[in-house]
Structure 1
């Protein structure tokens, strides 16, 4: 199958960094760490895994940063991931193949991916965090039946949605209602990030909430605040004109132009 494969090659990293001084095309050129390649169809790491045929894959900010090498080679997070990688953890797919241990799912079923490679996908008993549903805090991202990786796309055994097919543990597959389109469902991951933040840290009643940044997460946060806390005044900081227009459409009472964060915080205060 075709896939965008990211290899950890110091020679490619160095060459791309140097060539990018002349042209941004270097990041997707023949010397780049990420290349379009033919790779084998996904294997099932265990009997309770499935293979999804990719329908949609979202582009996360982390995918963008990795593609354009906006990070440090010695980042301590590299201890929790493995290479080579196929990025893309915001995935909508159709179940195409199932292991014999899969229950309550069906071939042809449309699902959205919960990308965390926590205890259950690794074939391990649930740690205290996973037992509480806090999968992002799992203690076992480097253990179990698959190679290290925090979520789909940064483990060599759990390749992501920038490919024609994606392996997934049955617990990662969330059925999509028929009245929800692929284009809507693929926003589940970024929407849930904003939703989680607001539910766990709600604004004070009749207070003011400042959303700093109006990309996908910020716009989702504005919409969620308006739906869950209609009495709260929502302010937004947007870098681009189209973001300002969308922020107002989603319910922001006022927009601030992007500038030094401390200055904005002081102004709102």
Structure 2
């Protein structure tokens, strides 16, 4: 038996969370949360290539918070199996031998449950090494689940054990601390983003959002592309400082976003005609740019962030959706013939590259909070308020009972 946080299906709680959203955050980590601390059987998949992992640190991701607070699209409802133990940003130790990796090896987990893990013949994306686009995430010998942490059979990092396939494991070098290793999975996603962005040499980039997704995107874009000017939209002072540390050329507040892009790209600002500012905001008739950045990244997933990205990308430019997207007016994408690219999880050698970034980048203070499982309400409250509190990544320290 083990201690774990378990997300369960509750229509009343989901509806309450959906209605209250971010307006009543106390409810979302209290009585309305579809999450509970339980004692449950340890997960086990009795198939070749599978082994148990003891989590050491497990990150709290924006997608986890979105699921708990009812903000995740129902599009994903067929791609998970409940109840499940969340947690897909994991550094842990092997509790048993796993093929060529001996017991006790420290590992990070690629959470995507692709064909190899599911024991089925590889689909076309998996044959091409694009396992993040696997077509078989609902079939095979384990329950549906697009990732570890969203599948009832595998468990997740918010529990004292999870079970993982060899194809998902990456050994961690001794030179990498646990606090840096737990960042490898989100950094691998940032590597994927940098590659999908296709920034031209010297190209201008806007990153809307300076939470973990946005900051790691800035780091990867600066390290892995030939981007020129990178402008970051940050709400809070510490986010702005970290954005500059990771390679941003300019940082602006959300209400200064258009002005900042206009200044750096010499774009033409076009404002709504005949409407006072409050009415323009109410009707969605926001200002836009003719011209703008070559590539813009939505690293938040909110309607306002995506709207900013679409309205500040030059004609024929590229808009990259990295935050799980909300609804937005797609008129700019149509009118300016934008290329809209999604970026999900990682593939290929992204984990190897992320391991190098985690080791070399100035990231010693990125993990700002560590909580034992029984203090989960405090942990989630901290994660929800991370930007305001100057935190980037909040984690569960699964070893701790203090």
Q: Compute the TM-score of the two structures, normalised by the length of structure 1.
A: 0.89
Q: How many residues align?
A: 264
Match of 1:146 among 133, 142, 145: 142
Q: Is the 8 A contact 1:45 1:146 kept in 2?
A: no
SS of the counterpart of 1:156?
Answer: coil
Change (3 A) 1:169 1:209: same
Distance 1:170 1:135 in 2: 14
Q: Is the 8 A contact 1:20 1:26 kept in 2?
A: no
SS of the counterpart of 1:224?
Answer: helix
Confirm whether residue 64 of structure 1 aligns to residue 77 of structure 2. Answer: no
**Structure 1 regions of 5+ residues with no counterpart?**
none
SS of the counterpart of 2:238?
Answer: helix
Confirm whether residue 217 of structure 1 aligns to residue 216 of structure 2. Answer: no
Shift of 1:186: 1.0
Distance 1:230 1:183 in 2: 29
Change (3 A) 1:17 1:65: closer
Change (3 A) 1:251 1:135: same
Distance 1:207 1:147 in 2: 43
Q: Is the 8 A contact 1:205 1:231 kept in 2?
A: yes
Q: Which residue of 2 aligns with 1:94?
A: 93
Shift of 1:17: 6.2
SS of the counterpart of 1:86?
Answer: coil
- The one-character-per-residue Cα deviations of 1:140-197 (angstroms, maximum 9, x if unpaired) are 1111000000000111112110111111011111101110111111111111111112
Q: Which residue of 1 aligns with 2:233?
A: 237
Query: Which residues in structure 2 correspond to 1:200-211 (within 5 Å)?
Result: 200-211=196-207
Distance 2:252 2:89 in 1: 29
Change (3 A) 1:55 1:247: same
Change (3 A) 1:34 1:232: same
Match of 2:153 among 149, 157, 164: 157
Match of 1:193 among 172, 189, 194: 189
SS of the counterpart of 1:69?
Answer: coil
- The one-character-per-residue Cα deviations of 1:191-242 (angstroms, maximum 9, x if unpaired) are 1111112123331112211111111121112122222346611111112221
Q: Which residue of 1 aligns with 2:380?
A: none
Q: Which residue of 2 aligns with 1:254?
A: 250
> Which ranges of 4 or more aligned residues in structure 1 deviate by more than 4 Å?
14-23, 260-269
Shift of 1:20: 8.2
Confirm whether residue 25 of structure 1 aligns to residue 35 of structure 2. Answer: no
Q: Which residue of 1 aligns with 2:3?
A: 2
- The one-character-per-residue Cα deviations of 1:8-54 (angstroms, maximum 9, x if unpaired) are 02244346668889953332335531011111112124131010001
- The one-character-per-residue Cα deviations of 1:221-267 (angstroms, maximum 9, x if unpaired) are 21222223466111111122211111112221111211455557656
Shift of 1:97: 2.4
Change (3 A) 1:179 1:124: same
Q: Which residue of 1 aligns with 2:364?
A: none
Q: Which residue of 1 aligns with 2:83?
A: 84
Segment of structure 1 superposing worse, 15-24 or 201-210 = 15-24
Q: Is the 8 A contact 1:225 1:232 kept in 2?
A: no
- The one-character-per-residue Cα deviations of 1:55-82 (angstroms, maximum 9, x if unpaired) are 110111100111222235xx12211211
Distance 1:37 1:9 in 2: 16
Distance 2:209 2:88 in 1: 22
Q: Compute the TM-score of the two structures, normalised by the length of structure 2.
A: 0.61
SS of the counterpart of 1:154?
Answer: coil
SS of the counterpart of 2:108?
Answer: strand
SS of the counterpart of 1:246?
Answer: helix
Distance 2:69 2:195 in 1: 33
What is the alpha-carbon root mean square deviation over aligned residues? 2.3
Q: Is the 8 A contact 1:42 1:165 kept in 2?
A: yes
